[in-house]
Amino acid sequence: MIRRTRTCFWIIAWLFVLSGCLRGPLAWQRVTLNQPLSEEDVSFVVNGKTSLSEVVEQLGAPNQMLSSNGGVVARYQFTDGKYFRVDFGWGLRFLSPFYSPDLVLGGGGSGADLFQITYNDRWIVQDHGFAFHSQLSEFRLWPFQD
C-alpha cells in the first residue's frame, strides 16, 4: 500500500513538472513600451511660458523631434499591446497523446499614445496635447466584435 501510494505520488509530481513545460490553455500577454504620461504629469506645461529645458527636466528627452514652420515639434510616444488566447483543445492531448487538435480562440491589439509639444524659434512651448489610441489594445475574447 505504501509503495503504491509513493508511486502514485511520483507520477503526479512528474505530471505537474511536465505540465509546466507544455503550453497551457490560457495565455495573457502584455507589452508596454515607454512610461505612459497622464494629464497630471504634464500639468506644469503652460503655453507661452514653459521652455524646452523645463520640459526635458520633468519628462526626459522626447522620442522624436521634427522641424516645423518657425519652430520644432517634440513627441513623447508610449505603446501598449495586449493579447489573449484560449486553446479549447488543450485538454484533449491527455486523452489522445498522438493527436491533439488546436482549437484556439484569441485576439488583441496594440495602440500608441502620443504627447506632442510645439515650440517656437525661442524654444518656448506654443501648444501641447495628447492623442490617445491605447483603446485599440483592449482584450477581446470574442474576435467578431465591431
Show the 3-state SS of the chain.
CHHHHHHHHHHHHHHHHHHHHCCCCEEEEEEEECCCCCCCCCCCCCCCCCEHHHHHHHHCCCCEEEEECCEEEEEEEEEEEEEEEEECCHHHHHCCCCCCCCCEEEEEEEEEEEEEEEEECCCEEEEEEEECCHHHHCCCCCCCCC
CB of 105 within 8 A of CB of 84?
no
Cell for 140? Answer: 477581446
Give residue 8's pLDDT band: very low, low, confident or very high (50, 70, 90): confident
pLDDT per residue over 26-81, tens digit each?
777 777 788 788 888 899 999 999 999 999 999 999 999 998 888 899 999 888 78
pLDDT per residue over 105-123, tens digit each?
777 777 788 899 999 989 9
Find cell 523645463 and name the residue: 54
pLDDT at 131 over 90: no
- 89 vs 7, more confident: 7
Share of the chain above pLDDT 90, in %: 25
- How much is the pLDDT for 113? 84
- How much is the pLDDT for 144? 57
pLDDT at 141 over 70: no
Share of the chain above pLDDT 70, in %: 79
Residue 29: phi and psi, rounded to 5, are -130, 140
- How much is the pLDDT for 119? 94
Residue 79: count other Cβ atoms within 10 Å of its Cβ.
17
CB of 72 within 8 A of CB of 124?
no
